[in-house]
């Protein structure tokens, strides 16, 4: 196992025994397929999960208490803090009077509202929560449950019991003492995202006057995109489509397509194609802008291509289109994108934290802020490791026995000259190429064997301090494989986020997977895809 850690079995929390991790173990390709298809063998084994895709036990327990107090037969219930309950529309909304124990101080807890809807609308409600990242956090639910009489709580389904783990007792947090105030932690996170690294030196964002007041925190990266998408819909002319330049994270596409007039995908990543689309739409009505907004990832996920944001900025100005850049993969330490963007978004759950935790409630912000203490050094280690792994895999692909590797996807091999134009010249460390890479294979059979043999954690997220792999196209576009391949994302592709392990451990782990893939390639030069 890379890093000497015991391998995780299907459904295990990654890291193990962490109540609020968002990663569950999917150790084989077949397990991943079972996950996306809702196979009972897989879903019943899950002890953790990305909170937008698997509702945490603590949240479900609080939902149940609310339903027992306020619900009626034939309804389902979800909980939101107050700001998500405005303009509720058709669903029934009520304030949840949580039955706290007497004498418990909950004065700093936010107001909570329950949204009740017919059970027949459960699928639609689940998709809303998945794509928008809305709802209460698991840590907030945990704090609520700790203040509720125990006889009201059904703990029979809890995988991790309440009050068994105090994260502040872990060695890391004894060294990096957490801020005790949620508002103070959020202020620190705003300063960091604004480009203030807390060392008294100049801001690294490259935009004079940028400040924490320009930063807005949301429950997740997707929740941030949801709110800015609502802003676009409210402030731009009605009926305009948006556009995505290159394929983005699948849920970003689903969100932008599902609310409003939809969007175009410039899957070729060709600025000429984008310009032709803009000119065509402008010609239909010269009085209206051609797009509601233009969305890009930098670099792209999972293809690691870097769009020329300066040229996109010129087009955005010419056609009066806001340019939205998701910098999660590149991160503010490595790349400087704010000078070209109208809005920059980032999921701090990824490499800025590195520990696969969410943020929303004050307790979430406190832990996330503590996780960021060594962000510069941590990113530097991850960048160095990832570049070494990419180079090693590329060298393998150039050997006769390594021809089963179709392509190594990493910024040093994809549009390197463009990526390097946007390196952060104000960074405190040598800016690197990020911790994310992808590998495409000559056949699906070889990709499956490589994935199953790779001795690292397997699960859905990236930007962790431990190496984590996922068959990205299978996971993200399982029901849209043809669309993905038409837009340049091959089915036989594995995305890997490289962690902070030592190089020898990483090399040995990849050697295991490469040897297994080589054996399959030798059996048949053109394996039948399965």
Q: Could you say which of 97, 117, 152 is where a domain stops? A: 152
Dist. CA 283–CA 267, nearest whole Å: 22
Q: Both 146 and 183 in a single domain?
A: no
Residue pair 428/380 in contact (Cβ under 8 Å)? The answer is no
Query: What pLDDT shows up at residue 161?
Result: 78
Q: Both 513 and 426 in a single domain?
A: yes
CATH number at 294 reads: 3.40.640.10
Is 379 within a domain? yes
Q: Both 346 and 491 in a single domain?
A: no
Q: Residue 114: give the domain boundaries.
A: 57-152
Is 368 within a domain? no
Crossing angle of helices 250-258 and 221-235, rounded to 10°: 30
Please determine, for residue 53, whether its predicted confidence score (pLDDT) is greater than 90.
Answer: no
CA 55 to chain centre: 16
Q: Both 135 and 179 in a single domain?
A: no
Q: Both 191 and 332 in a single domain?
A: yes
Is 24 within a domain? no
Q: Both 384 and 442 in a single domain?
A: yes
Q: Could you say which of 117, 152, 187 is where a domain stops? A: 152
Report angle CA 307, 310, 316 to the nearest 5 degrees: 95
Is 462 within a domain? yes
User: For the segment 167-204, what is each residue's pLDDT rounded down to a tens digit?
Assistant: 788 888 888 899 989 899 999 999 999 999 988 889 99
Q: Both 196 and 333 in a single domain?
A: yes
Residue 433: how many other CB atoms lie within 10 Å: 26
Q: What is the pTM of this model?
A: 0.92
Dist. CA 47–CA 17, nearest whole Å: 9
CA 514 to chain centre: 28
Q: Could you say which of 100, 121, 152 is where a domain stops? A: 152
Confidence of residue 83 (pLDDT cuts 50, 70, 90): low
Is 33 within a domain? no
Q: Both 142 and 267 in a single domain?
A: no
Query: What pLDDT shows up at residue 88?
Result: 43
CA 452 to chain centre: 23
Please determine, for residue 298, whether its predicted confidence score (pLDDT) is greater than 50.
Answer: yes
Is 14 within a domain? no
CATH number at 467 reads: 3.90.1150.10
Residue pair 328/463 in contact (Cβ under 8 Å)? The answer is yes
User: For the segment 220-268, what is each residue's pLDDT rounded down to a tens digit?
Assistant: 889 999 999 999 999 999 999 999 999 998 899 999 999 999 999 999 8
Dist. CA 295–CA 225, nearest whole Å: 10
Q: Both 109 and 256 in a single domain?
A: no
Is 1 within a domain? no
- Indicate the number of domains in the chain: 3
Residue 418: how many other CB atoms lie within 10 Å: 18
User: For the segment 467-526, what is each residue's pLDDT rounded down to a tens digit?
Assistant: 999 999 999 999 999 999 999 999 999 999 999 999 999 999 999 999 999 999 998 765
Is 87 within a domain? yes
Query: What pLDDT shows up at residue 379?
Result: 94
Find the helix or strand (DSSP H, E) in which 273 lies. Answer: helix 271-284
Q: Both 359 and 381 in a single domain?
A: no
Residue keyed to tokens 């709802």:
135
Residue pair 500/381 in contact (Cβ under 8 Å)? The answer is yes
Q: Both 359 and 379 in a single domain?
A: no
């Amino acid at each position: 196992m890379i890093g000497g850690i015991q391998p995780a079995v299907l459904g295990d929390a990654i890291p193990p025994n962490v109540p609020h991790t968002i990663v569950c173990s999917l150790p084989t390709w077949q397990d991943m397929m079972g996950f996306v298809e809702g196979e009972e063998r897989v879903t019943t084994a899950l002890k953790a999960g990305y909170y937008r895709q698997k509702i945490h036990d603590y949240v479900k327990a609080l939902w149940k208490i609310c339903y027992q107090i306020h619900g009626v037969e034939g309804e389902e219930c979800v909980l939101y803090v107050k700001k998500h309950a405005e303009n509720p529309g058709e669903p029934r909304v009520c304030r949840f009077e949580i039955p706290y124990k007497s004498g418990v101080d909950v004065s700093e807890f936010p107001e909570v509202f329950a949204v009740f809807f017919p059970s027949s609308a459960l699928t639609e409600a689940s998709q809303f929560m998945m794509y928008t990242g809305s709802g209460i956090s698991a840590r907030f639910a945990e704090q609520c449950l700790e203040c509720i009489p125990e006889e009201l709580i059904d703990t029979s389904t809890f995988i991790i019991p309440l009050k068994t783990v105090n994260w502040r007792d872990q060695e890391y947090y004894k060294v990096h003492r957490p801020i005790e105030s949620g508002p103070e932690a959020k202020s620190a996170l705003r300063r960091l995202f604004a480009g203030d690294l807390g060392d008294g030196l100049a801001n690294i964002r490259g935009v004079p006057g940028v400040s924490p007041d320009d930063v807005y925190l949301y429950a997740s990266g997707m929740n941030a995109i949801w709110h800015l998408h609502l802003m676009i819909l409210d402030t731009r002319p009605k009926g305009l489509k948006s556009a995505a330049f290159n394929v983005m994270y699948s849920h970003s596409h689903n969100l932008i397509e599902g609310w409003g007039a939809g969007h175009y995908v410039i899957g070729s990543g060709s600025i000429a194609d984008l310009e032709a689309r803009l000119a065509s739409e402008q010609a239909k009505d010269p009085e209206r802008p051609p797009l509601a907004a233009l969305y890009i990832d930098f670099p792209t996920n999972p293809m690691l291509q870097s769009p020329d944001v300066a040229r996109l900025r010129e087009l955005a100005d010419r056609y009066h289109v806001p340019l939205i850049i998701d910098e999660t993969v590149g991160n503010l330490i490595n790349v400087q994108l704010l000078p070209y963007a109208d809005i920059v978004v980032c999921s701090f759950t990824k490499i800025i934290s590195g520990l696969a935790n969410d943020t929303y409630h004050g307790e979430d912000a406190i832990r996330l802020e503590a996780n960021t203490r060594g962000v510069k050094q941590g990113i530097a280690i991850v960048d160095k490791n990832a570049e070494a792994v990419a180079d090693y895999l590329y060298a393998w692909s150039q050997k006769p026995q390594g021809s089963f590797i179709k392509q190594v996807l990493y910024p040093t091999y994809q549009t390197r000259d463009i990526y390097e134009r946007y390196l952060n010249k104000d960074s405190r460390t040598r800016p690197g190429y990020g911790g994310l890479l992808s590998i495409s294979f000559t056949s699906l059979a070889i990709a499956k064997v490589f994935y199953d043999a790779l001795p690292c954690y397997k699960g859905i997220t990236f930007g962790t301090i431990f190496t984590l792999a996922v068959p990205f196209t299978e996971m993200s576009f399982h029901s849209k494989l043809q669309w993905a391949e038409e837009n340049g994302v091959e089915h036989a592709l594995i995305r890997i986020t490289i962690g902070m392990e030592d190089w020898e451990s990483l090399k040995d782990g990849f050697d295991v997977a490469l040897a297994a893939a080589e054996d399959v390639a030798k059996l048949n030069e053109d394996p039948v895809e399965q």
